[in-house]
Amino acid sequence: MRELIFLVEEDPEGGYTAQAVGENIFTQGESIAELKTMIRDAVDCHYDDTSQWPQLIRLHFVKDEVFAL
């Protein structure tokens, strides 16, 4: 696998959540720096062999915004 994409959202209770696209990997962190550390740890736990690790991890920040007309 060459690249793994995580959808990152702000958690309403604080911090951030991240979910991998196409893989069953989910994690959270209080800051972006902590989230990156947690993503590395989650990827390490998800794959049995480091040769299966993605070469790149892309963070796609998603922000929903609602406004009235």
Is residue 69 in a domain?
no
For residue 43, being part of any structural domain is answered with yes
User: Would you state the pLDDT for residue 51?
Assistant: 86
**Is 7 inside any structural domain?**
yes
Evaluate whether 37 touches 28 at the Cβ level (below 8 Å): no
Q: Does 25 map to a domain?
A: yes
Q: What is the DSSP letter of 25?
A: -
Average pLDDT per 10 consecutive residues for the chain, totaling 69 residues: 93 95 96 97 92 93 90
Q: Tell me, yes or no, whether 9 lies in a domain.
A: yes
Report field, pTM of the whole predicted structure over 0.85: yes
Torsion sign over Cα 66, 26, 39, 47: negative
* In a domain? residue 48: yes
- The radius of gyration of the chain from alpha carbons, rounded to an integer in Å, stands at 13
What total of structural domains would you count in the chain?
1
